[in-house]
Amino acid sequence: MHIHILGICGTFMGGVAQLARALGYRVTGCDANVYPPMSTQLKNAGIDLIEGFGVEQLQLKPDLWVVGNVVSRGNPLMEAILNARLPYVSGPQWVGEHVLQGRKVIAVAGTHGKTTVASLLAWVFDQLGLTPGFLIGGVPSGFECSARLGQGDWFVIEADEYDTAFFDKRSKFVHYRPTVALLNNLEFDHADIFPDLSAIETQFHHLLRTVPSQGHVVCLANTGSLERVIARGCWAPVSYFDAQDVSTQWASKIHSTHQFEMLHRGLAVGQVQWQLSGIHSINNALAVVAAATAVGLNASQVCVALSSFPGVKRRMELVAQIANIRIYDDFAHHPTAIATTLEGAHASLKQVASPGRLLAVFEPRSNTMKKGVFSQALPAAFASAAHVWCYSGGVNWDVLSAFKPLGDQVTVSDQIDAIVASVIHFARPGDWVIVMSNGAFGGIHTKLKQALSSTLN
């Protein structure tokens, strides 16, 4: 069978392509921009790529067109497919019907941490010999790929609440029908498609409606939005976790930034010692052990596996260390994620010998950020940073005014090269520079590395 994927170079659709290829399908695809690293992964998998959405692609005559949510009405190829009444399906629906059918699915949902928690689960299950399949919106360092078919029953999937396709406005995750649904947190986001938090809660409610009564729900405790979701209807057992509430079913005893004990109903069941930092990382670990033990894995063994986790690309990923100045790449783009990431990094930085300052370089790139929905929350989110550089290109709100509470602690510019020059002038040995964006940020990571090397040489 031949499928042609529209929007193939996105992380999710690129993963779909690799899974289809592993199942023996002939796979081709197109995108507006065919670019590395996804284009390289796909070509290495034997998948032919076409740049653009030209109508001449109808001549490929695939058996099925698989449509990513980057495609909208007015797209020339999609209009031709509709007019010719050719068979098409969304990426999430295709995955649900052709990859997840018959598998035991663990779906990781939430506003923050989906990629990390899904990566942790895949890592733990793999370390314990279960060789799971997975489809993740990032690249776990231990696997060097974002998707694989795996062997056996288990499949871990990052369950996104964003809409499925232009013709299916439900959240992607309603197509996954998980055995275990993991609700990591829930806040307002995606202001381009959701009017308010209540609308997102409704989608999470729809997800819970698909969990079988013999399945399981893992949920962050003490969270009003998730409590409302559970109250609307839940037909499976629920396990709650909260790193800072020892009365919760799954909690923790924290010894240091990187070392903590797992507590189940107040009793220690294992210890984790790793390089990840912050309370949010401990909550991620608790979510994983709660989900893994719910399906029969041993908590102590899960903790050992967690301790060996090598991390996820673009999640506090160290990309350079020059003259004792560290440059990190991080995906955080929501105020809560920014705050928790910086707080965790600040705690880790204080533990090193001769600690420097925490410096943040931020691009408000998400659709929600571009609209300015969270602009007033940003100063508090960056409270842990000694200085903040914010890129103002492409946004439609007054960035300088929003950051006014930080005074001289912030630099705003719409020129990436100017930001690079300012950071290099400001940074000194011992400092950690954390670049925060959900995109490529104009190659600023490479520019910072090159500029820092040139300055020192």
Domain spans, the chain:
2-90, 100-307, 317-456
Residue 73 buriedness (CB in 10 A; 0-12 / 13-18 / 19+) = exposed
Q: What is the mean pLDDT of the chain?
A: 89
Is it the case that residue 456 has pLDDT exceeding 70? no
List, for residues 186-234, the tens digit of each pLDDT value: 988 877 888 899 999 999 999 999 999 999 999 999 999 999 999 999 9
Q: Which fold has domain 100-307?
A: UDP-N-acetylmuramoyl-L-alanine:D-glutamate ligase (3.40.1190)
Calculate mean pLDDT across residues 399-425: 85
Which architecture characterizes domain 2-90 according to CATH? 3-Layer(aba) Sandwich (3.40)
Please tell me the predicted confidence (pLDDT) of residue 330: 85
* Range among 6-10, 179-183, 347-351, 426-430 with highest mean pLDDT value: 179-183
Which range (24-38, 145-159, 289-303, 393-407) has the least confidence? 393-407
Please tell me the predicted confidence (pLDDT) of residue 312: 66
Calculate mean pLDDT across residues 54-67: 98
Q: In the chain, what percentage of residues exceed pLDDT 90?
A: 54
Supply the pTM of this predicted model: 0.80
Is it the case that residue 170 has pLDDT exceeding 80? yes
- Selected residue with higher pLDDT from 162 and 107: 107
Please tell me the predicted confidence (pLDDT) of residue 422: 87
Q: How confident is the model at residue 365 (pLDDT cuts 50, 70, 90)?
A: confident
- Rounded Cα gap, residues 297 and 275, in angstroms: 23
Calculate mean pLDDT across residues 14-32: 95
Neighbours of 432 (CB within 10 A): 26
**Which tokens is 116 given?**
């990390």
Is it the case that residue 457 has pLDDT exceeding 60? no
User: Which is nearest to 389 in space by CA: 405, 366, 408, 412?
Assistant: 412
Measure CA 56 to chain center.
Answer: 35
Please tell me the predicted confidence (pLDDT) of residue 340: 77
- Cβ atoms of residues 40 and 100 within 8 Å: no
Please tell me the predicted confidence (pLDDT) of residue 338: 85
**Which tokens is 277 given?**
């930092």
Q: What DSSP line would sit under 374-443, residue for residue?
A: TGGGHHHHTTT-SEEEEE-TT-SS-HHHHTGGGGGGEEEES-HHHHHHHHHHH--TT-EEEEE-SS-GGG
Q: How confident is the model at residue 95 (pLDDT cuts 50, 70, 90)?
A: very high
395: alpha, beta or left, given left = phi > 0 and alpha = psi -120 to 50? beta
Whether the domain at 2-90 and the domain at 100-307 fall into the same CATH topology = no
CATH numeric code, 317-456: 3.90.190.20
